[in-house]
Amino acid sequence: MAGQLFFYFLALLTVAGAVAVVALPNPLYSVLSLVATFLGLAGLYLSLNAQFVAVVQVIVYAGAIMMLFLFVVMLINLGREERQALRLPVQKLAGTIIGLGVFAGLVNLYATTPLLTGAKGLFPAARLAEVGSVQAVGRLLVTQYVLPFQAMAVLLFVGIVGAVVLARRRAR
């Protein structure tokens, strides 16, 4: 029961943060709200026995990526979004409706179809407690998933180079 309560608490935090991201007019507040959402998600990951992802979520996502966003927001220093007449009303209305439609479709799917049909994997909770979740993930990362891991490294490198090239001031 305590687990259930914990879940609802975190879910509330997460959804509140997400709503704030979308609703608050100042981008700076949006970024900070997203950090709150991420912290809530990290807690949820912990409840799902995914310690590794939880830690990465906090350090990399909330820590590094969000800091990058903050930097840019501060750099550009836009302030709040001016209230002005809604542009492209048709698109925005249609987008909202379709988005809610996606939500309805997903919920409908969850409600009507059996969810756990896949074969069970090799790492039940007891085994994870034994070998350690982080160790198990790390081992998989450098064995079975070593190729995507390498590809990821290349991707990040290209990302860095690309960001530097794009943001560099061109001498005219």
Partner 1 sequence: MAPLEHYLILSAVLFTLGVVGVVVRRNAIVVFLCIELMLNGANLAFVAYGSFLDSLDGQLIVFFVMAVAAAEAAIGLAIVVLIYRHRESTDVDDLNLLKL
Partner 2 sequence: MTYILLFPLAGVLVNLLFGFRRGERFAGRVATGAMGLAFLASAAAFLSLLGLPPGQRALRAFLFEWIPVGGLQVKASFLLDPLSSTMTLVVTGVGFLIHLYSMGYMHGDRGAVRYFIYLNLFSFSMLTLVLGDNFLVLFVGWEAVGLCSYLLIGFWHERDSAAEAGKKAFVVNRVGDFCFLIALFLIFGRFGSLDFGVVLPQAAATLGAGSGAATLICLLLFGGATGKSAQFPLHVWLPDAMEGPTPVSALIHAATMVTAGVYMVARTSALFALSPFAMGVVATVGALTLLMAGSIAVAQNDIKRVLAYSTVSQLGYMFLAAGVGAYTAAIFHLVTHAFFKALLFLGSGSVIHSLHGEQDIRRMGGLRAGLPVTSWTFTVGALAIAGIFPFAGFFSKDAILFAAMTSPRGGLVFWLAGAAGAFMTAFYMFRLVFKTFHGKCSLPIEQQARLHESPRVMLLPLQALAVLSVVGGWMGLPLVRGADLFGGFLSPVFPKMGGEHHEVVLEVAMMLVSLAIALLGIFVAYGFYVRGQGVGAAYGRRWPRLYRLLLNKYYVDEAYDRFIVQPVKRASIWAWHAFEDGLIDAAVNGAGAAVEAAGGAVRRLQTGYVKSYAVAMLAGAFAILVYLTVRGG
Interface with partner 1, residue 18, by CB under 8 A: yes
Q: How many residues form the binding site for partner 1 (CB under 8 A)?
A: 83
Residue 10 or residue 21: which is nearer to partner 2 going by CB? 21
Interface with partner 1, residue 38, by CB under 8 A: yes
The C-alpha angle 84, 90, 92, rounded to 5 degrees, equals: 65
Q: Specify whether the CB–CB gap between 63 and 36 falls below 8 A.
A: no
- The residues that touch partner 2, with contacts defined as CB under 8 A, are 88, 91-92, 94-95, 98-99, 101-102, 105-106, 108-109, 112-113
Binding mask 125-164 for partner 1 (x = CB under 8 A): x-x-----x--xx--xx---x--x---x--xx-xxx-xxx
Residue 92 or residue 139: which is nearer to partner 2 going by CB? 92
The C-alpha angle 21, 22, 26, rounded to 5 degrees, equals: 65
Q: What residue 113 binds from partner 2, partner 1, none (CB within 5 to 8 A, per partner kind)?
A: partner 2
CA dist 81 → 13, 38, 67, 85 (Å): 25, 24, 21, 12
Tally of CB atoms within 10 A around 6: 14
CA dist 74 → 27, 29, 71, 78, 119 (Å): 10, 12, 5, 8, 48
Q: Which of 39, 75, 130, 143 binds partner 1 (CB under 8 A)?
A: 75
Interface with partner 1, residue 39, by CB under 8 A: no
Interface with partner 1, residue 171, by CB under 8 A: no
Alpha helices of 57-132 — where are they, by DSSP H? 66-76, 89-112, 125-131
CB of 38 to partner 2, least distance (A): 23
